[in-house]
Structure 1
């Protein structure tokens, strides 16, 4: 077992030893020195950060056979200071107990095994458990030579590598994949959980700096697109320019949200928007949209700075004057031209041609 965990710090490992029942299958292990009355244990070593899981099968041969040891519950108790000599005869290892992968990606699920002899009766299987249903993806028996499914090269199995290569991932690829390795009377397996994680693409409908006049308004939209799964969180905040560095950003409560939009590739989109009312005391404030998602180590932030200029009442009045003046001139022209057009029309009606 030691060669598979070299370089690992001791406190990163969890070890569990259990008695192992061969389900009343009493047969002699093909290895050297094995007996039909051997007692079996499993030793499972887990890396605390989820780097790997190793399950080893330990064989102990008692000095004399004890009757009624077909089931491990009938075994004699082991004293506190008793020392049992065991041999590791088989192990099953995965270096991918939990996998996070995006959509339309090639992914391999690691499964490795080692046996202390050339196993003539070896079976390797991969199963998928999803929504309460179990599907066999691959199976190979060295005894019968039969192979069903694909994803595991047969020449790799001969080297102890049972890793499964998946087709391009899609939403339905999520689930628990089970690697099973059997050499009678031993049966080892590891569960590998595959999570589809697609990070969102975040954008704003405004530039990094926007300028508005006092009392002006603008709709600001934050868009998160192409994420999976559905658990996304979007928030808008404001950082005042004159509040000092000690104040926390203010969360906006006037934000509205669209419904989640589901796309053909299985991903989702969501919009968070609000109506920005510009005022002079907000000039220089920074607004940012923060998007959190299970696929992200850190939330994504997109921001803009608001610049507010003073409302010029004189210019506004001047534009209003010219606007009304233009309208009055047009009305006057129409008032003068309409009688002439009417007279010309009547004159044309009395002409014989």
Structure 2
């Protein structure tokens, strides 16, 4: 017996040892649980044997719709209709966002000649399989659902492992959703030393399925196994997935602290014979540059002197970075002028895989350059907008500077002399008053 808990943002269905998390409007997004139909493109296949005896497949894109309802419902649109009847696997419970952001694609699915009857009532050896993949255009999720269509009789006169049923433009195909594989991390971009969680969730329409879960990393044309688990044997290899959560349909993978070697495409595969579903999750690393210039916000230069101006972009990843120096007159300009005499250092590669780079120039300004603002602009993949560091230039005349120094020196000297002479002057006055004739006479009278 299947018992749902309270339906709020997250609903859970339990069926024996299988625990299916049905996400409805996670994080406040719109629920599409009552969606009646969805436009799709049906990527049909035409298979034939060429003159050399080899099998060739051509792909034809056709208009179709996914329609949700019950056996016997009429099509809502005059096109190829895949009627998805009620089952324990309902892809609508996992959809997020709004309908206009959903992209749907239906394809035929071949089980590769494996004759394994799906273990639910009414299933036949000659069932025809399709996959429906719905993705959010802004990368919220990708879900692939397997649709089982039972024909009256097996096809004849075709290759065993490609028993494609001919589908006409207004055909109605009644199907049942039997399995899904979902990821809410279709692509991941993180910094160094992070531990991202790559989401992979699955569900089937019957309890205690024999499930095999694998995670592989593909990079530079090679695949390496990261983790594997078989419910049939109970054995697992590798790390990154909590085995105890697999029975609940959670096969998410936790990446170890990221380094340059973590980049690649992570592949989550779920096999419930005769079906095999997977999602490719590209993981890229990105670190923002730390930008600095070697002067303060105001730079004062004496006419005739020069200054080396350096703009450093440090500890960024990936490699490509763009550094520009430009200047603007006082009051700003709609088109700042880019400096042409800029030199660049070679890229420095650090042990952690990040890079550093510098752009510098030598400034020997004239008096008319005083008041200009100089800016270093750094652009990089990791930045939404470029980073800017600026300083204002003040150019001073050496003659006026010398006069100012002389005047200031004179004033300081006078102050020193005054501070030295004033106490002596005041002390002399006191001594003169003390030994004057009037003071002596007054003292004698006092004694008499």
TM-score by length of 1: 0.85
Give, in angstroms, the shift of residue 96 of structure 1.
1.1
1:281 to 364, 368, 384: 368
Q: Is 2:350 aligned against 1:263?
A: yes
Question: Structure 1, unaligned stretches of length 5 or more?
Answer: 320-353
SS in 2 for 1:84: strand
Q: Is 2:178 aligned against 1:86?
A: no
The aligned residue for residue 61 of structure 1 is 150
2:192 to 103, 107, 118: 103
Instruction: Judge conservation of contact 1:214–1:308 (CA < 8 Å) in 2.
Output: yes
CA distance in structure 2 between the partners assigned to 1:69 and 1:114 by the alignment: 32
The aligned residue for residue 241 of structure 2 is 152
2:276 to 180, 187, 193: 187
Matches within 5 A, 1:220-235: 220-235=309-324
Q: Is 2:225 aligned against 1:142?
A: no
CA distance in structure 1 between the partners assigned to 2:167 and 2:357 by the alignment: 60
Instruction: Judge conservation of contact 1:119–1:183 (CA < 8 Å) in 2.
Output: no
Kindly provide the CA deviation profile for residues 91-118 of structure 1, in whole angstroms up to 9, marking residues without a partner as x. Answer: 1111111111111111111111111112
CA distance in structure 1 between the partners assigned to 2:158 and 2:175 by the alignment: 17
4+ long deviations beyond 6 Å:
none
CA distance in structure 2 between the partners assigned to 1:313 and 1:202 by the alignment: 36
Give, in angstroms, the shift of residue 307 of structure 1.
1.4
Q: Is 2:258 aligned against 1:169?
A: yes
Give, in angstroms, the shift of residue 282 of structure 1.
1.6
Give, in angstroms, the shift of residue 152 of structure 1.
0.5
Q: Is 2:320 aligned against 1:236?
A: no
CA distance in structure 1 between the partners assigned to 2:216 and 2:154 by the alignment: 38
The aligned residue for residue 383 of structure 2 is 296
Instruction: Judge conservation of contact 1:24–1:70 (CA < 8 Å) in 2.
Output: no
CA distance in structure 1 between the partners assigned to 2:222 and 2:329 by the alignment: 54
CA distance in structure 1 between the partners assigned to 2:366 and 2:160 by the alignment: 80
Q: Is 2:341 aligned against 1:251?
A: no
Instruction: Judge conservation of contact 2:112–2:161 (CA < 8 Å) in 1.
Output: no
CA distance in structure 1 between the partners assigned to 2:160 and 2:144 by the alignment: 21
Question: Structure 2, unaligned stretches of length 5 or more?
Answer: 1-90, 407-448
SS in 2 for 1:156: helix
Instruction: Judge conservation of contact 1:30–1:117 (CA < 8 Å) in 2.
Output: yes
SS in 1 for 2:351: coil
CA distance in structure 2 between the partners assigned to 1:305 and 1:132 by the alignment: 51
Instruction: Judge conservation of contact 2:105–2:132 (CA < 8 Å) in 1.
Output: yes
The aligned residue for residue 5 of structure 1 is 95
Kindly provide the CA deviation profile for residues 167-188 of structure 1, in whole angstroms up to 9, marking residues without a partner as x. Answer: 1101100011100000000000
Structure possessing the higher relative contact order (Cα contacts under 8 Å, 6 or more residues apart): 1
The aligned residue for residue 398 of structure 2 is 311
CA distance in structure 2 between the partners assigned to 1:120 and 1:5 by the alignment: 24
Give, in angstroms, the shift of residue 50 of structure 1.
1.9
Greater mean deviation of Cα atoms: 19-28 or 111-120: 111-120
Give, in angstroms, the shift of residue 310 of structure 1.
2.6
CA distance in structure 2 between the partners assigned to 1:130 and 1:75 by the alignment: 34
Give, in angstroms, the shift of residue 76 of structure 1.
3.1
TM-score by length of 2: 0.68
The aligned residue for residue 25 of structure 1 is 114
Kindly provide the CA deviation profile for residues 99-158 of structure 1, in whole angstroms up to 9, marking residues without a partner as x. Answer: 111111111111111111124310000001111221100000000111000110111111
The aligned residue for residue 127 of structure 1 is 216
The aligned residue for residue 15 of structure 1 is 104
CA distance in structure 1 between the partners assigned to 2:267 and 2:122 by the alignment: 32
Instruction: Judge conservation of contact 1:96–1:109 (CA < 8 Å) in 2.
Output: yes
Instruction: Judge conservation of contact 1:176–1:192 (CA < 8 Å) in 2.
Output: yes
The aligned residue for residue 118 of structure 1 is 207
The aligned residue for residue 272 of structure 1 is 359
Instruction: Judge conservation of contact 1:21–1:71 (CA < 8 Å) in 2.
Output: no
Instruction: Judge conservation of contact 1:13–1:46 (CA < 8 Å) in 2.
Output: yes
Give, in angstroms, the shift of residue 11 of structure 1.
2.0
Give, in angstroms, the shift of residue 67 of structure 1.
3.4
The aligned residue for residue 343 of structure 1 is none
